[in-house]
Amino acid sequence: MKQIVLKIIFSLFIIFLFLFLLFHFVFDKNNLIDSSALFIQFNNDDVLEVTNKLPLSDELGKNGECEGLSDFIDCINFSIKNISSEMVSYEIYITKEYSKSEIKGDYINFYLHDDMNNSLKGFDSNIIPSYNSLLSLNDKPYSKLLYSGTLSSEEKKNFILKTWVSDSYTISDNLEKFRVNVNVRTK
């Protein structure tokens, strides 16, 4: 009798374990796609820093070359590749690093485009977003969303992110800076 009860308990345990694994891995696809589904490569660094940069018009910031305007613009080139067999949704966001003497976020402008110089959604109008106008992320303190998109399996996209100080900013004699880290995650 004791052996029959043990066999029933063992059988029920196996059935519950099978159902749990089936639900967890088959029905909940979000758990299968994680950050390891993306290969992110920064050409130089993942930090944008504006330290004592001269103010610049939005037109020059948007259309200017990073190398020729290094006293005005800071740029990051990076790529994202989906290395999974599933379509993946992703977000590009920035996380601010605080400093004692920093430029207010209203005066820090961002422009994100692909390597063919096509502006991305949110950056395709004549109004260039400032740090303060970007959408905050609820689950990431001090973080702002730049862009979200999808990648098919094995698809790769190249990005260029520029930042500069708005031409409405008054230059100060103090050492002032604004620094953000660029991040990518699956959604």
**Which residues are 92's β-sheet partners?**
147, 184
Order of strands, sheet of 135-136, starting from the edge strand that comes earlier in the sequence: 47-51, 177-186, 88-97, 143-151, 135-136
Confidence at 141, pLDDT banded by 50, 70, 90: confident
Helix, strand and coil percent figures for the chain, each rounded to 5: 25, 40, 35
What's the pLDDT score for residue 33? 38
Q: What is the pLDDT of residues 40-84, one digit of tens each?
A: 999 888 898 888 788 999 999 998 888 878 889 999 999 999 999
CA pair distance 116, 112, nearest whole angstrom:
12
What is the CATH architecture assignment of 35-186?
Answer: Sandwich (2.60)
Q: What is the pLDDT of residues 4-44, one digit of tens each?
A: 866 777 676 677 666 555 454 444 333 333 457 899 999 88
User: Is the whole model's pTM more than 0.85, yes or no?
Assistant: no
DSSP secondary structure of 94-129: EEEEP-SSB--GGGEEEEEEETT-PBPTTSSSSSPP
Domain ranges (residues) in the chain: 1-32, 35-186
What's the pLDDT score for residue 13? 67
Q: Rounded mean pLDDT of 142-154?
A: 95
Sign of CA dihedral 82, 84, 89, 95: negative
What's the pLDDT score for residue 27? 41
Which of residues 166 and 45 earns the better pLDDT score? Answer: 166
